Amino acid sequence: MEGRTPSSARSSKARLDFREVAVPAFSIKDIVKNNMARFSFYRAGYAFYEVAVAGTKCKFPVSLEDLGTATLLAEHKAITLMQYIRKALDDKTFVRA
């Protein structure tokens, strides 16, 4: 067993924090102009949406707490979610899907 990594250590390394996934630097204009955001999944109070920018699929979180009584659709014009995209860019949570 010498020289081998225990399976528990390997599995913990395999999990990626979404902040570790590098994304090319896109401008907010490149992301929202003539683009659609599509619902991807829900986790821990956040709805995650995906957008395709220059052939790269990226995802970002939308806080359900911030939405209040707003309606979330399966697909939105990206510009309508611009405040969340901008926040994700600032927080480094706008990552490759």
The pLDDT of residue 90 is 93
User: In the chain, which stretches have pLDDT less than 70?
Assistant: 1-24
List of residues 6+ apart from 42 with CB closer than 8 A? 48
Cα–Cα–Cα angle for 19, 70, 79, nearest 5°?
Answer: 55
The pLDDT of residue 68 is 85
The pLDDT of residue 25 is 83
The pTM assigned to this predicted structure is 0.75
